[in-house]
């Protein structure tokens, strides 16, 4: 698939923020970026797998454990109250960030657990249809396969056009079959395709379907308002949005969450327990069994603070400029095949999956690692998509707020070195 390109203005990039006449590089907020790999500066181009963390997030987690470590909600002592305030304060920040109500924000371990939560509380009947797409991460395919096997529900998948977009004609045909639920990604972790969420949600709702959107690759990079999108469920992971690992979010419409059964039981999700039976806590705690990842939630709330301090519009513009720059430069490298839709900031976000001649992506990643460059190689937990593309694996670069054009330039030099090593 070939890429077309647009011109962008030469305004100050996100990599620097003005304080009077002083400019401070955003990358300096990320301690790990001072690391050297085999004596060479780290060039981190694997943010779609997990993002790096600003010092403010690291400090927030460290401070919690040093000064406020206690369990939440049930304790009457000072530390418990402070920890509860921090934990629930993080929930409020996240709700505001995506335009939700606090009671609609459920803390989970990651987007994968959020999808599993919905899948195991949906209770489809035999013959009910669940629709997904062939561009999904395995986390948005396998839970639905399991549910279908257990219940007799039917699975269907929206195919792609040759440009790497969802086939809307086939989408209309499948939605007209009145599925119980439609589950799709907001942004593809391989193609970078930004799916038309509002259009898809409206169409699915027209036929009475619920909609779950995997926003793991969207929330860190573009402005997301769940009320505007009108999705019934929206999921994302903290570690891809400058936050810590082990914390994620399920957004669900309040009316739906109130009707759903708990996914896990025990601990703070309980209201009352008798030997004869139990009753459940109110939202959002009904879905947060056991002691939660308190430090993780606090860290994620701080990550949201950091993203908002930069501004999501600024972040998106910065990353789109980097994406366009990288695509334009890579198309000049002999032997490079890139995958994804035509370049357009409305339909493509900051990942580039590619292959270089007949070099296996793992071999290419090893050569780049020798140069201090971290990229991803393999099937990216998207094997059905790899089959559609006709490849077993690809290499992938991905950008974030701390990525610079210099990082891209160093990467391009290393690509040329790989060509020489493998005699392409």
Active site residues: 381
Using CA atoms in the order 208, 212, 218, 222, what is the torsion angle rounded to 10 degrees? Answer: 40
What b-and-e string marks burial along 298-316, b requiring 16 or more CB atoms within 10 Å of the CB?
bbbbbbbbbbeebebebbb
Find the radius of gyration of the CA atoms of the chain. 22
Report residue 57 as tokens: 């997030």
Of the candidates 219, 167, 163, the residue with the CA atom closest to the CA atom of residue 196: 167
Report residue 370 as tokens: 């020798």
Of the candidates 199, 149, 146, 150, the residue with the CA atom closest to the CA atom of residue 175: 199
Report residue 23 as tokens: 């400019």
Give CA–CA dist 336/422, Å, rounded. Answer: 13
Q: Where are the alpha helices (DSSP H) in 70-192?
A: 78-98, 111-121, 142-151, 168-175
Q: Is residue 340 helix, strand or coil?
A: coil
Report residue 88 as tokens: 């629930």
Query: Phi and psi dihedrals of 248, rounded to 5?
Result: -150, 180
Residues 6+ apart with CB under 8 A from 237: 110, 111, 112, 216, 247, 248, 249
Of the candidates 82, 64, 105, 66, the residue with the CA atom closest to the CA atom of residue 296: 64
Q: Are 179 and 124 in contact (CB under 8 A)?
A: no
């Amino acid at each position: 698939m070939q890429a077309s390109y647009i011109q962008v203005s030469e305004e100050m990039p996100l990599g620097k923020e003005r304080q009077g006449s002083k400019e401070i590089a955003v990358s300096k907020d990320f301690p790990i970026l001072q690391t050297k790999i085999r004596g060479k500066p780290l060039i981190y181009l694997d943010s779609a797998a997990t993002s790096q963390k600003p010092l403010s997030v690291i400090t927030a987690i460290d401070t919690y454990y040093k000064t406020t470590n206690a369990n939440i909600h049930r304790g009457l002592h000072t530390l418990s109250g402070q920890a509860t305030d921090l934990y629930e304060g993080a929930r409020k920040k996240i709700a505001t960030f995506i335009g939700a109500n606090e009671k609609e924000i459920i803390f989970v371990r990651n987007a994968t657990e959020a999808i599993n939560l919905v899948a195991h509380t949906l209770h489809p009947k035999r013959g009910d249809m669940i629709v997904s797409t062939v561009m999904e991460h395995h986390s948005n395919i396998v839970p639905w396969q399991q549910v279908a096997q257990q219940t007799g529900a039917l699975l269907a998948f929206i195919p792609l056009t040759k440009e790497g977009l969802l086939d809307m004609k086939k989408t209309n045909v499948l939605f007209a079959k009145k599925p119980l639920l439609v589950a799709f990604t907001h942004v593809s972790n391989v193609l970078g395709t930004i799916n038309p969420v509002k259009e898809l949600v409206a169409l699915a709702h027209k036929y009475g379907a619920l909609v779950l959107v995997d926003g793991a690759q969207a929330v860190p990079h573009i402005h997301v308002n769940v009320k505007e999108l009108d999705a019934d469920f929206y999921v994302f992971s903290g570690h891809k949005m400058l936050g810590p690992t082990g914390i994620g979010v399920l957004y669900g419409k309040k009316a739906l969450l109130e009707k759903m059964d708990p996914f896990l039981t025990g601990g703070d999700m309980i209201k009352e327990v008798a030997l004869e039976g139990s009753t459940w806590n109110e939202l959002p705690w009904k879905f947060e069994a056991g002691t939660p990842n308190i430090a993780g939630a606090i860290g994620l709330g701080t990550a949201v603070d950091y993203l908002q301090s930069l501004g999501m519009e600024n972040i998106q513009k910065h990353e789109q400029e980097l994406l366009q720059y990288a695509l334009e430069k890579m198309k000049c490298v002999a032997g490079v095949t890139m995958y994804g839709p035509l370049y357009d900031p409305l339909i493509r976000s900051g990942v580039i999956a590619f292959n270089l001649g007949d070099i296996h992506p793992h071999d290419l990643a090893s050569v780049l690692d020798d140069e201090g460059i971290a990229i991803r190689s393999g099937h990216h937990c998207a094997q059905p998509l790899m089959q559609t593309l006709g490849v077993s694996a690809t290499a992938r670069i991905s950008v974030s707020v701390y990525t610079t054009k210099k990082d891209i330039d160093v990467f391009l030099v290393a690509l040329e070195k790989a060509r020489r090593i493998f005699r392409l």
